Amino acid sequence: MNICRYFLSALLLVLVLTQVPAYADEPGREVALVTSVAGAATLRSGEEEVPLALGMKLREGDMLTVTGGDIALVFLSGEYLAMKNGEQLTLGATREASTLVSAAGTRGLGPDDGMTVAAAGVDAGQDDDFWQAQLASVSGIRADAALIAVSPRLTLSDPNPLFCWFDTDTAAGTAERSYRIVLRDSHFETIAEQQVRGRPGRLCCFRFDQAPKGFDPSARRHYSWSILPLDALPGKGILDAVFVYVDKAGLEDARAHAAGLQRMFEVGSIDLSSLHMLLSRYYLDERERLFADAVQHLRALDDLAGGSAFAREELAHMFLRFGNQVSTLAPRILQTDIPIAGE
């Protein structure tokens, strides 16, 4: 019996030891996210070197080299760092463990390098294979859903939300058309009904100039809305897309976070791309789940140089979570045949 125990213990030890090299060969963990690329830069990860792009996830041991213009990144622990032409950064597990090479020499990073932009840290987002696996099983737009009320849906915090829709009917061309937006409260009473303009085959968006009478962006308030052809009448009851304002603590946190980042941008502490990137990542964070609030910032990133690929992937993620017809829109948004920026 003792001999059996000895051999079992020895076998277990061998199995454990044989796993050690596998851990050593794994790539470093994710430590940062690229939030702005206004120039030329490269990412060297292991033996591979590629051009740096907005939204790239950076790992411990990666090396960034700026060869023109400037870039910005945010450590997932929440610290923002801007880099300029001629600088090179080797990423450590933290900001303090990272090394910067510049004309002034080589040094480690410290508290004076950048600032904290997310006290609770930054969510790096889903892995690519998450949405790719789902997109592979999603069919095209349903034939019976000519108009899709895309956003807002689910939970949000924006006191003046952006209403977005997609018209699948392109048989008669893509010329601008008139539509009707209808907004109802939780008692199924219509509190806003307005004519709007948009184009088929495009992610169209509209925001009320002033909050409609009876619209209260307070905690736990429910609303539903729909987008219709101009000559169509809405049915009774709940409309196509339903959204609810987050609880009181969530509203206060979200609005304070957005206001703080806006102030940093206004005083020049962060750039425009990083502002939209950080806000979109905050709203899409699984801890917040304020997906609809992210739309305007993803549209803004799509309109910036190099931001389109990231914006489309994030929109595809989000539309899959919305479900129903919006899920079927996800593969189309990911492809470049649907303009998502504003007019």
Q: How confident is the model at residue 6 (pLDDT cuts 50, 70, 90)?
A: very low
Percentage of residues of the chain with pLDDT beyond 90: 62
Asked if 292 and 155 sit in the same domain, the reply is yes
Asked if 81 and 156 sit in the same domain, the reply is no
pLDDT in the model for residue 12 = 33
Helix/strand/coil percentages in the chain, nearest 5: 30, 30, 40
Instruction: Identify the bridge partners of residue 170 per DSSP, sorted by sequence position.
Output: none
Asked if 145 and 283 sit in the same domain, the reply is yes
Q: Where are the beta strands (DSSP E) in the chain?
A: 30-45, 48-51, 57-59, 63-75, 79-84, 88-90, 99-102, 105-108, 115-116, 147-151, 154-156, 163-167, 177-185, 190-198, 203-206, 222-229, 241-245
> Does 14 fall in a domain?
no
Report the C-alpha gap between 259 and 300 in whole angstroms: 17
> Does 8 fall in a domain?
no
Per-residue pLDDT tens for 121-136? 998 887 654 444 444 4
How far out from the chain centre does Cα 119 lie?
18
pLDDT in the model for residue 5 = 39
Asked if 145 and 204 sit in the same domain, the reply is yes
Residue 274 contacts residue 115 (beta carbons within 8 Å)? no
pLDDT in the model for residue 139 = 43
pLDDT in the model for residue 15 = 36
> Does 18 fall in a domain?
no
Lowest-pLDDT range, 15-29, 65-79, 168-182, 316-330?
15-29
SS3 172: coil
Residue 284 contacts residue 309 (beta carbons within 8 Å)? no
Which of 96, 124, 152 is a domain's end point? 124
Q: Residue 138, Cβ neighbours under 10 Å: how many?
A: 16
pLDDT in the model for residue 26 = 46
| Residue 4 scores a pLDDT above 80 | no
Lowest-pLDDT range, 81-90, 142-151, 254-263, 320-329?
142-151
Q: How confident is the model at residue 325 (pLDDT cuts 50, 70, 90)?
A: confident
Asked if 35 and 55 sit in the same domain, the reply is yes
> Does 196 fall in a domain?
yes
| Residue 96 scores a pLDDT above 80 | yes
Asked if 61 and 195 sit in the same domain, the reply is no
Of residues 25 and 100, the one with the higher pLDDT is 100
Q: Residue 329, Cβ neighbours under 10 Å: how many?
A: 26
Asked if 105 and 248 sit in the same domain, the reply is no
Per-residue pLDDT tens for 169-223? 888 788 899 999 999 999 999 999 999 999 998 899 999 998 899 999 999 999 9
Nearest CA to 209 among 194, 224, 197, 219? 194
Q: Give the residue-averaged pLDDT of 314-329.
A: 86
> Does 16 fall in a domain?
no
Asked if 216 and 99 sit in the same domain, the reply is no
What is the extent of the structural domain holding 309? 126-343
How far out from the chain centre does Cα 25 lie?
30
Residue 107 contacts residue 292 (beta carbons within 8 Å)? no
Give the DSSP letter of residue 80: E
User: Model pTM?
Assistant: 0.85
89: its two tokens: 């950064």
Instruction: Identify the bridge partners of residue 80 per DSSP, sorted by sequence position.
Output: 74, 115
Q: How confident is the model at residue 144 (pLDDT cuts 50, 70, 90)?
A: low
Asked if 81 and 182 sit in the same domain, the reply is no
Please, what is the average pLDDT of the chain?
85
| Residue 7 scores a pLDDT above 90 | no
Give the DSSP letter of residue 142: -
Percentage of residues of the chain with pLDDT beyond 70: 85
Nearest CA to 221 among 283, 159, 279, 280? 159
Which of 106, 124, 142 is a domain's end point? 124
Asked if 93 and 184 sit in the same domain, the reply is no
Nearest CA to 145 among 292, 329, 340, 276? 329
Q: Give the residue-averaged pLDDT of 259-278.
A: 96
Asked if 143 and 232 sit in the same domain, the reply is yes
Q: Give the residue-averaged pLDDT of 237-243.
A: 93
Write the single-letter amino acid at 237.
G
Q: How confident is the model at residue 27 (pLDDT cuts 50, 70, 90)?
A: low
